[in-house]
Amino acid sequence: MTADLVQESWSRIDAWLREHAPRTFATLRPPAKVEEITAAQDGLGITFPPDLIASLLRHDGALDGPEAFRFNTHDRLLGVSGILEDTRFMRAVADDLDEKEAEDYWQHGYAKFGSYGATSDGLMIDCRTGRDSFGAIGRFFDETGTSFGEGRLTWWVSGRAGRPARARPGCRCRHVQRPAVLGVGDACPSGVGQCRRSSWRTG
C-alpha cells in the first residue's frame, strides 16, 4: 500500500514536471536497482523504510545543478550513492562528538536522503527498526542538529504531488496565483509563453 501510494504520487509529479518544467524533470534519474538498494542498506548496516525504497525504485535521486529537482525545503533528492556518501559523512562528524552531544545531532540509524548542497543541511529519515519513529523524516541543520516533525516520506511525496519541487529555489512565476516554480525556458502554466527571469518573483 505504501509503495503504491509513493508510485502514484511520483506519477503525478512526473506528469506535472514533463508539461511545466521539462528541464527539471530531466534531472530525475531512472530507478535504482534492487541490488543497489540492498547493498546500500548492508553497507550502512540499516534498513530503509518501505517508502524510501519505493521512491528509489522510481527515481534514483536527481542530478545536481540549477534545474535539479528539489523539495520545497530546497533540498535535492539523493539517490543511492548520494545517500551512502552523505550518511557516511554525517556519521564521521557525529563520531567526533561525545554521546550527549551526538544524541540530538546525528544518530547512527539515520539516513540522509535530501541535500541542501552548500552545507551539510538536509532531510533525513529514521531507519532504526523497532521504534515508533521508524520512517519518520527530520531536518538536519549544521548548527543545531536534527529535529523531527516532518511526517513520513509517503506523506512528504504524496502531499507535494500537486506542488512539485522547485527548479530554482525562491523564485516563482508571477503570471499564476498558484506558486508554480519553473526554470528559465520552461513553459509557463498560464499559457503566456516561456518563463523568463523577468517573470519571476521571490517568496
**Reported confidence tier of residue 184, pLDDT bands at 50, 70, 90:** very low
Q: Are 78 and 88 in contact (CB under 8 A)?
A: no
Dihedral of alpha carbons 131, 137, 139, 142, sign: positive
How much is the pTM? 0.76
Distance CA 95, CA 82 (A): 20
- Distance in angstroms (rounded) separating the CA atoms of residues 78 and 122: 10
Alpha carbon separation from 21 to 28, 36, 69 (Å, rounded): 12, 29, 10
Long-range own/partner contacts, residues 184-187 (CB < 8 A, 24 or more apart): 185/23, 186/20, 186/21, 186/22, 186/23, 186/24, 187/19, 187/20, 187/22
**65-83 pLDDT, tens digit each:** 989 998 878 899 999 999 9
Q: What is the pLDDT of residue 49?
A: 94
Phi/psi class of residue 130: alpha, beta or left (left: φ > 0; alpha: ψ in -120 to 50)?
left
Model confidence at 168, pLDDT cuts 50, 70, 90, reads very low
Find the mean pLDDT for residues 72-98. Answer: 91
The answer, yes or no, to whether residue 84 has pLDDT greater than 50, is: yes
Question: To the nearest 5 percent, what fractions of the chain are helix, strand and coil?
Answer: 35, 20, 45
Radius of gyration of the chain (CA): 17
Over 50: is that where the pLDDT of 199 sits?
A: no
Residue-wise pLDDT for 27-36, tens only, equals: 999 999 999 9
